[in-house]
Amino acid sequence: MLDIKLIRKEQEKIEAKIRTKEPGLELSTVIALDDKIRVIKTKNDQLKSKRNELSKKVGELKREGKSGEELMEEVRGIGDMISSLDHELKTLEAEFQDALAKIPNIPADGVKVSQDVADNVCTKTVGEKPTFDFEFKNHLQLNEKLRLFEFHRTAKTTGSGWPAYRGLGARLEWALLSYMIDIQILNDFEFWLPPVLVKQSIMFGSGQIPKFDGQYYHVSGGETPLYLIPTSEVVLNGLHFDEIIPEEQLPIKYAAYSPCFRKEAGAAGANERGLIRVHQFNKVEMFSFTKPDQSEQMHLEMIDVAEQILKGLGLHYRLCELVTGDMSFTAAKTIDIEVWLPAQNRYYEVSSISNCTDYQARRSHIRTKGKSGKTELVHTLNGSGLATSRLMVALLENNQNSDGSVTLPPVLQEKLGMKQLKAAN
């Protein structure tokens, strides 16, 4: 969430920057609400001061043995006005917070301004696209004989877009997750297995709602309504909700494995079938809390960790800096890491690493305090390290052989005790 003081001070500048993310967005509504709140608060303070003054006079009259009934009646009338204004203030403050919460984070200086994803700036390419001297298959065709994952049977149990890994596929998925967790730990990220359900306040704090409310799975029936997390970024950010973190503890680096749940599985069509877009997928997430002057360096470190994973898997990938219109609601700067999927004949994102500056921290009331005693908001960063569903597609399609087998990268050979995935009997 943005600071209303900054919005008021630099309205035109902030509005221009935000419109590079969401064209047509105006700050006049939130400023008008803030103006009304200020007027009512001033009026309320004046009434409370007058009530106190009159109450004091009533007390003096009573001590003198005189009737203070007229003044007492006036005090009661003022109390009614204060009560009415308090009610109006509560309504206005709720409207103000809702309006403020729907304003996205400000893009960082230097981020390219565009609404066209084709304008994303590719800053680095590693490896080469594979070449095949045979008619290669997509991951669904390969799976017909390898039998690594299942959609047909889970359509019976849960519905379309909910995959299950089976047999060697389940082992491969687990090996992939284990390998990525190993890399996180080697880079000093503390590993977590967090809850997959969170409170509404935690979803709000990470920036998922109210902007995207309705796009996530909501669980009711318990003591508190809960949400299934779309990413463990949500719960990792929430671990320090409403805290002051001592400056000497920063930066804090967390990694977590969790299944992730999203209602919108994506567009239909041949290129979006199978594991490309699903309602549930596995992911290892990186998350960091830093001092404001540490976040740019941490962003680079997190990108490097994701690259280490992909280099270890031997996959061809590229880094793209997202334009303003393609960034997430909470991000000030984002680098996407995309792998090449041969059967789709295009790159797909497997990691999105963002510096959210103090946006999530303001929503979540996460601060830090140093020796000077000054309290300030921390910066938060998040990034996939990595999401496995598209990574699984990349491993299968890029490493396939003419007989339908798939050669595993050495890091996974060690974990599975085999060099290739072969057709199931």
Task: Give me the active site residues, please.
Answer: 262, 277, 349, 352, 390
What are the tokens at 48? Answer: 């409370």
231 — phi, psi (to 5°)? -165, 150
CA distance 300 to 288: 12
Rg of the Cα atoms in the chain: 27
CA distance 384 to 421: 26
Q: Is the CB of residue 265 less than 8 Å from the CB of residue 161?
A: yes
CA distances from 288 to 179, 186, 198, 233, 320 (A): 20, 16, 19, 10, 21
CA distance 328 to 337: 15
Close Cβ partners of 170 (under 8 Å, ≥ 6 residues apart): none
Close Cβ partners of 35 (under 8 Å, ≥ 6 residues apart): none
Cis peptide before 386 (omega within 30 of 0): yes
CA distance 51 to 197: 48
287 — phi, psi (to 5°)? -150, 140
Residue carrying structure tokens 């929503």: 363
CA distance 380 to 336: 17
What are the tokens at 245? Answer: 């973190």
CA distance 274 to 161: 8
